[in-house]
Structure 1
Amino acid sequence: MVSPMFRLETEVDKARRDLLRRRLRETNTAASPVLRALRGTPGEREAPLHVWVMDPGGALAGGLVGHTWTTWLHVTYLWVDAPHRGAGIGSRILAEAERLAVTERGARHARVETWDFQAPDFYRRHGYEVVCAIPDYPPGITEYTLTKCLR
């Protein structure tokens, strides 16, 4: 057996990253009866889901970037510009993403990660429950993972 060569890279090699992701998905799918039973390839089961709100002048007022995967909505980013905060835009954005995930994608659950200074209370008010808290990630901050049953 040849000894492996290790190489640290700080630049993104997109082709290699995609190859690694594809091979990991193949390995996971082969090992999991649940993933094997799902329709489509792993790439077909994951789809971007974005919701944007523009102000009257056409500037970005807020938005959500996420994706659906199997029966889950994963909220990656949710942001509202400071002048528009407190007007319910974030709530409407989240509700629209959940609605689309359920009606268009068959999602049954949602998940999000947020830091203690960001929006854990916002998500709790919208029915999300904390399932994980990681203190000191990054130092001095707690990261929360929250989930919600959508149906």
Structure 2
Amino acid sequence: MFRIEALVDKDRRDLLRSRLRESNTAASPVLAALRGTPAEREAPLHIWALDPAGGLAGGLVGHTWTTWLHVAYLWVDAEHRGAGLGTRLLAEAERIAADRGCTASRLETWDFQAPEFYRGQGYEVVCVIPDYPPGITEFTLTKRLV
């Protein structure tokens, strides 16, 4: 008989993630052919924009994995929006990702956030999920990197 638990456990999460990666790599010829271990193929990518006083004006948090950049968060402080800071942060992330061998980028955004901004940066909508969360539409966008 199995015991089922619902609790946050970072050690178990990390073990589960490691085992899932190993299983995925073993089952996929494409993943198995890539150099390095699954953990070695994933690298954090953080970029920060600081104002003259050293305060956070914006930033991008993501990671590269295999040949993809995944942008998890991109934020610019309201007083700095419209000045091209988001474009600069995204371009720098794409440049670093390309230097790491990435050929594509992906991200998610909600309808009230920045889908038009990303389209303007060359991203294409590949998935639309209405009511996620209720009343909001989520978009997944991708871009081929040069």
Global fold match (TM > 0.5): yes
**C-alpha distance in structure 2 between counterparts of 1:78 and 1:55, whole Å:** 16
Query: Counterpart in 1 of 2:61?
Result: 65
Q: Deviations over 1:126-145 (max 9, x none)?
A: 00000000000000000000
Instruction: Please name the residue that 1:6 is paired with.
Output: 4
Query: Residue in 2 aligned with 1:32?
Result: 28
Shift in Å, 1:8: 1.7
2:140 is matched with 145
Structure 2 unmatched runs, 5+: none
The answer for the alignment partner of 1:96 in structure 2 is: 92
What CA distance in whole angstroms lies between the structure 2 residues aligned with 1:48 and 1:122? 23
* Separation (CA, whole Å) in 1 of partners of 2:95 and 2:25: 28
Question: Could you give the per-residue CA deviations for residues 10-40 of structure 1, whole angstroms, max 9, x where no partner exists?
Answer: xx21110000000100110110000000000
Matched residue of 2:20: which SS? helix
- 1:51-84 Cα deviation digits (max 9, x unpaired): 1110011100000000000000000000000110
| Amino acid of the structure 1 residue aligned with 2:141 | L
TM-score, normalization by structure 1: 0.95
Partner of 2:76: 80
Of 112, 116, 124 in structure 1, the residue corresponding to residue 119 of structure 2 is 124
Aligned partner of residue 99 in structure 1, secondary structure? helix
Amino acid corresponding to residue 117 of structure 1 in structure 2 = F
Task: Report the Cα distance in structure 1 between the residues aligned to 2:5 and 2:74, rounded to whole angstroms.
Answer: 35
Query: What is the rounded CA distance, in whole Å, between the counterparts of 1:142 and 1:27 in structure 2?
Result: 33
Gaps of 5+ in 1: none
Deviations along 1:89-136, one digit per CA (max 9) or x if unpaired, are 000000010011102x11100000000000100000000000000000
SS of structure 2 residue aligned to 1:111 = strand
The alignment of Structure 1 onto Structure 2 pairs a total of residues equal to 146
How high is the sequence identity, in percent, across the aligned residues?
75
Report the secondary structure of 1:121's partner residue: helix
1:33 & 1:75 partners in 2: Cα distance? 26
1:115 aligns with 2:98: no
- Residue 6 of structure 1, CA deviation: 1.1
